[in-house]
């Protein structure tokens, strides 16, 4: 099969790396790809939002399956464009991706379907939002509707921060039109985890649970980022809790979508808070997580193309699906990220790191300059490792990270701490 992967980050690098091991892959393409992916795939100079050019390439080159990494093209309807042209593509159509694209839609649907999520109110008028906030009090979470590149949610532990967030979103409009509609929701406490499922209508294959680390610095300090590290599976979640997450959240969401005429195919990846009152959805995503995917691909034993290309494979047993043990991904970021950072800095040590047992390095913000690999983004690399235990995987990943150098490199030192404590 000829497969095209759309995207340019470490998530897509991990997907391409895994697809390259498939018996059924004859040719891999990535659009636009990155230098890491070029080892397995032909990288195409087509941007993720050039739907006609992408579909045209797939047609002309008889691509059998296209897999979409990032949310933006899904929300903007790339799947609809491909399907209209009779092309096979893995991902939800625009109606399904609205679950991620519109927080207001997601909340409304969850409330109507009885899917556990924080109590919320939706506002379009700043004055009304402030009035509700004054009456409700803090802590609260304030979210700009629409996809604000992961920065649209502000956790306000005090009322001042909350007032500030409303003003920024609704008056100063720092997130642009994403601030037209603002959601104020109750603050939830507990362990925050990720639940990922490969979905085909109401049928789904749950992947192992993950835990991301969104803040830039150790001990969950610093600003929110795209994700600083993930490990999987989670030793502190037992089988019955996991079952509850799948039934009450994944299955219930697919059913609710179906009742609204949305046949959801693709990845449903939900951020879930394990509260004292049970699992509750923080947010739904309709694509693979990043850096979740890097750890998941390392742990996966099964052929990814079978899983994504043939929904009949959805009944795999856990031992067919996974290697035993654990996997972890560490984000190596540019100095200053998620704020301002420099690019074009030489990267050294990837080969040495990959010589370590169980280690794989996926590239995110990298570029080639005169044959030298250099930094080109905030999140630069995902240093991943698999091990027989979470401890082993973690030790391997940190050993590998220490072998990699670029000026200003920073990463968290406490990824998987919660899991190791359990
Ligand atoms: P979101 O963009 O909705 O995923 O929110 C970003 C981050 O804000 C989440 O990963 C959580 O850490 C935090 N968050 C969002 N909603 C809540 C909530 N209701 N209670 C506590 N923390 C939240
Ligand atoms: N790991 C966070 C995300 O992919 O949204």
Distance, in Å, from the CA atom of 112 to the CA atom of 114, rounded to the nearest integer, reads: 6
Mean pLDDT of the chain: 94
Is the CB of residue 310 below 6 angstroms from any atom belonging to ligand 1? no
CA nearest neighbour of 31 among 1, 65, 4: 4
Position 315 scores a pLDDT of 73
**Considering the entire predicted model, what is its pTM?**
0.94
Q: Are strands 278-285 and 265-275 parallel, antiparallel or unpaired?
A: antiparallel
The predicted model gives 407-415 an average pLDDT of 98
Question: Can you read off the two tokens belonging to residue 122?
Answer: 């939706």
Kindly give, in sequence order, each residue whose CB lies less than 8 Å from that of residue 207, ignoring residues fewer than 6 positions away: 196, 197, 198, 232, 296, 300
Give me the mean pLDDT over the 282-307 stretch.
96
Q: Whose structure tokens read 């219930």? A: 252
Nearest to 352 by CA among 291, 399, 409: 399
Q: Which atom of ligand 2 is nearest to the CA of 212?
A: 1
Alpha-carbon distance values, 20 to 16, 41, 59, 257, 371 (Å): 6, 8, 21, 33, 24
What percent of the chain is modeled with pLDDT above 70?
97
Determine whether the shortest distance from the Cβ of 141 to ligand 1 is under 6 A. yes
Nearest C-alpha to atom 3 of ligand 1 is from which residue? 283
C-alpha closest to that of 331 among 40, 70, 10, 43: 10
- Tell how far the Cα of 155 is from the centroid of ligand 1, in angstroms: 7
Tell me, in angstroms, the distance from the centre of ligand 1 to residue 349's CA. 35
Residue 210: helix, strand or coil by DSSP? strand
Helix 292-299 / helix 10-19 crossing angle, nearest 10 deg: 20
**Strands 359-363 and 379-387, bridge-based pairing:** antiparallel
Give dist(CA 15, CA 19) in Å, integer: 6
Q: What does the pLDDT look like over 240-269, one tens digit per residue? A: 999 999 999 999 999 999 999 999 999 999
Ligand 2 atom at minimal distance to the Cα of residue 227: 1
Q: Give the integer Cα–Cα distance in Å for 29 and 153.
A: 34
- 71 CA to centre of ligand 1 in angstroms: 18
Who's near 362: CB < 8 A, 6+ residues apart? 10, 11, 13, 14, 17, 36, 294, 329, 381, 382, 384
199 near 266, Cβ under 8 Å? yes
Per-residue pLDDT at 91? 97
Average pLDDT over residues 291-315: 87
Cα 313–Cα 318–Cα 323 angle in degrees, nearest 5: 110
Closest ligand 2 atom, residue 288 Cα: 4
Cα(245) to centroid of ligand 2, in Å? 18
Compute the average pLDDT of residues 227-247: 97
Of 199, 182, 171, give the one whose Cα is nearest residue 96. Answer: 199
Tell me the best of 195, 289, 379 to mutate to test the pocket of ligand 2, counting ligand atoms within 8 Å of each CB and taking the most: 289
Predicted confidence band of residue 149 (pLDDT cuts 50, 70, 90)? very low
C-alpha dihedral sign at 107, 111, 115, 121: positive
Domain 2-94 sits in CATH 3.40.50.2300: no
Q: Is the confidence at residue 409, as pLDDT, over 60? A: yes
pLDDT of 310: 67
Under the banding of pLDDT at 50, 70 and 90, the label for residue 317 is confident
- The whole-angstrom separation of Cα 197 and Cα 207 is 6
Q: Which of the listed residues 142, 213, 271, 276 should we mutate to test ligand 1's pocket, taking the one with most ligand atoms within 8 A of CB?
A: 271
Residue nearest to atom 3 of ligand 2 (CA): 289
What integer pLDDT is reported at residue 145 of this predicted model?
Answer: 75
Q: What is the pLDDT of residue 151?
A: 57
When pLDDT is cut at 50, 70 and 90, the band that residue 183 belongs to is: confident
389 vs 383: CA distance, rounded Å? 17
Please, which pLDDT band fits residue 147 given cuts at 50, 70 and 90? low
pLDDT at 103 over 80: no
Residue 178's pLDDT band (cuts 50, 70, 90): confident
What is the residue-wise DSSP string for 179-200? GSSEEEEE---SEEEEEEEEEE
- DSSP class of residue 47 equals -
Superfamily of domain covering 125-180 = ATP-grasp fold, A domain (3.30.1490.20)
Domain ranges of the chain: 2-94, 125-180, 191-421
Closest residue CA from atom 5 of ligand 2: 289
Residue 212 CB–ligand 2 contact under 6 Å: yes
Residue 314 predicted with pLDDT over 70: no
Q: Which superfamily does CATH assign the domain made up of 191-421 to? A: ATP-grasp fold, B domain (3.30.470.20)
Nearest to 316 by CA among 300, 327, 296, 299: 300
Q: Give the number of the ligand closest to the Cα of residue 11.
A: 2
Give me ligand 2 centre to Cα 169, in Å.
Answer: 22
């Amino acid at each position: 099969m000829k497969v095209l992967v759309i995207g340019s980050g470490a998530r897509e690098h991990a997907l391409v790396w895994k697809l390259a091991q498939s018996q059924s892959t004859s040719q891999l393409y990535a659009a636009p790809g990155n230098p890491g992916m070029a080892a397995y795939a032909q990288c195409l100079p087509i941007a993720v939002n050039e739907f006609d050019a992408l579909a045209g390439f797939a047609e002309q080159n008889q691509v059998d399956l296209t897999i979409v990494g990032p949310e933006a093209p899904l929300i903007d309807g790339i799947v609809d464009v491909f399907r209209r042209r009779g092309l096979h593509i893995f991902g939800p159509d625009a109606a399904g991706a609205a679950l991620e694209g519109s927080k207001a839609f997601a909340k409304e649907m969850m409330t109507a379907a009885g899917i556990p999520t924080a109590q919320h109110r939706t506002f379009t008028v700043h004055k009304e939002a402030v009035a509700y906030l004054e009456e409700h009090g803090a802590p609260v979470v304030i979210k700009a509707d629409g996809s604000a590149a992961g920065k649209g949610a502000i956790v306000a532990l005090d009322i001042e921060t909350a007032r500030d967030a409303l003003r920024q979103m609704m008056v100063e409009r720092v997130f642009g039109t994403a601030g037209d509609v603002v959601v104020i929701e109750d603050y939830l406490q507990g362990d925050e985890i990720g639940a990922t499922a490969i979905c085909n209508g109401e049928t789904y294959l749950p992947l192992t649970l993950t835990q991301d680390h969104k803040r830039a610095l150790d001990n969950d300090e610093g600003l929110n980022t795209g994700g600083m590290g993930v490990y999987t599976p989670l030793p502190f979640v037992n089988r019955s809790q996991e079952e509850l997450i799948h039934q009450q959240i994944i299955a219930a969401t697919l059913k609710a979508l179906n009742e609204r005429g949305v046949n959801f195919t693709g990845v449903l990846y939900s951020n879930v808070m394990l509260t004292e009152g049970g699992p509750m959805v923080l947010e739904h995503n309709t694509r693979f997580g990043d850096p979740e995917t890097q750890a998941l691909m390392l742990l996966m034993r099964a052929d990814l193309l079978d899983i994504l290309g043939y929904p009949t494979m959805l009944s795999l047993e856990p031992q067919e699906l996974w290697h035993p043990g654990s996997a972890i991904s560490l984000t190596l970021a540019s100095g200053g990220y998620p704020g301002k950072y420099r690019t074009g800095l030489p990267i050294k040590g990837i080969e040495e790191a990959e010589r370590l047992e169980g280690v794989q390095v996926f590239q995110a913000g990298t570029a080639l300059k005169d044959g030298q690999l250099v930094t080109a983004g905030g999140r630069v690399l995902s240093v991943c490792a698999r091990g027989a235990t979470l401890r082993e995987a973690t030790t391997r990943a940190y050993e590998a990270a220490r072998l990699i150098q670029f000026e200003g490199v920073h990463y968290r030192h406490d990824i998987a701490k919660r899991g190791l404590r359990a």
